Amino acid sequence: MAYVNNIKMFVRVYDLGSMSAAARDQRTSPAVASSRIAELEKHLGVRLFNRTTRALKPTENGRLFYDGARNILDTIEEAEARVIQSTDSPRGTVFVAAPLGVGRRFIAPHVPAFKDMYPQINIRLRMSDRVIDVTGEGLDVAFHLGPLADSDLKVRAIAECQRVLCAAPSYIARRGTPKDGAALIADSHDCLNLRFPGAKEFRWPLMTPEGPQRFDITGPLESDDGDVLTEWALAGRGIVLKPAFEVAQYLASGALVAVATETPPVPTQLACLYPSRRFKDTKVRLFVDFMVTRCREELATSLAQLPR
C-alpha cells in the first residue's frame, strides 16, 4: 500500500506542479509528500523531478513514468468501484467543486439528505468562483455556471439560466437607469466585477437587436466572490450581472431593480462536469443524479419568485 500511496503522491505533485499543493490535496504535510517522492525515486533509481527554490519540474523520466502511474491509479479505482458496486451499500469519498452561488443555494443544503440516504459515502465540497481544473485538482464532480471550454470531460446539462443586470433603487436615484448596454458605457456606470485568478477581461455578453455582443465594462469595485457583488449592489454601489436565481428574492422585494432591459444578458448554462471514468463509480453516479434533480427543483423554485 505504501508504494501505491507514493505513486498517488507523485501523480498529484505532477498534476499540481507543487509539493505543498499536493500535500494539501492528500491531507498531509509537505515533509511527508517529499519523503514519498524520495522513496519512489530511490525505488526506481531515477530522479522524477528537478527541484529549485522557485520551481518543481518533472524530469524526462518523470514524464515517462507519469502515464503509467496514472493508468495504475485508474485501474485501482475502477477495481475498487466494481467491488463496491457488488455490495448493497456504496461507500467512499466524492470530491466536489461548485461556484459559490450554486454551492450555497443548490448543493450544500442537500448534502445532509444525500448523506442520510448513503451513510457510507463522504462528501468533500469546495466552493469557489475561480476557474476549476477538474482533472488537475483530482475532483470527481464539478458544477459549472457559464460557457464550457472544449475538454475531455463529460457534461451533464442541468438547465439554461436566465441572467439579469440589476441595481438598488438608491443607485438608480443617484445615477439614473441605463436602458441598454451602450448606455452602460456612455454614462460610465459603476459595474461590479467578478475577478479571480485567471480572469482575463470584463466583458458582459448582452443580447442586442443585432445579436449577442460583448460590452467592455468598467467599475471601481471587484471581488472574487459573487455574493459579495450582490451585497455591494444591494448597498447601492453599482450594477451587477447575476444569474436570476441568485437575486430573484431581491427583485421580487424591490431591493434590486432590473436595468438595461433593452439588451438583456445572454443566458448561461448550468452543468455538471466529471471525468468519464469517474461516472463508472457508483457513488459518483448516485451523487450526480441526486444533485442534478435537486438543482432543477431549486432553480424552478427560485425563478418562481421573479416579478411577472
Compute φ and ψ for 195, nearest 5 degrees: -125, 130
Three-state DSSP state, 114? helix
Cβ-contact 16, 23 below 8 angstroms? no
Q: Domain 2-85 - what CATH class?
A: mainly alpha
Cβ-contact 156, 288 below 8 angstroms? yes
Q: What is the pLDDT along the chain (308 residues), one digit of tens a residue?
A: 688 888 888 888 888 878 887 887 777 888 888 888 888 888 888 888 887 767 788 888 888 888 888 888 777 777 766 665 555 568 888 999 999 889 998 999 999 999 999 999 999 999 988 877 887 777 889 999 887 776 778 888 999 899 999 999 999 999 999 999 999 998 899 999 887 655 555 788 999 988 899 998 888 999 988 899 999 999 999 999 999 999 999 999 999 999 999 999 999 899 998 887 665 678 888 999 999 999 999 888 887 777 76
Cβ-contact 158, 270 below 8 angstroms? yes
Among 68, 92, 97, smallest CA distance to 81 is for 92
pLDDT tens for 6-20 read 888 888 888 887 888
Residues 299 and 13: their CA atoms lie apart, in Å, by 38
pLDDT for res 85: 56
Q: Domain 92-160+269-303 classified CATH 3.40.50.2000? A: no
Instruction: Evaluate whether 2-85 and 92-160+269-303 have a shared fold.
Output: no
Cβ-contact 227, 101 below 8 angstroms? yes
Residues 183 and 223: their CA atoms lie apart, in Å, by 23
Sign of CA dihedral 27, 90, 86, 158: negative
pLDDT tens for 245-280 read 999 999 999 999 999 999 999 998 999 988 876 656
Where does 163-266 sit in CATH, by number? Answer: 3.40.190.10
Name the residue ranges covered by the structural domains of the chain: 2-85, 92-160+269-303, 163-266
The pTM for the full model equals 0.70
Whose cell is 507519469? That residue is 66
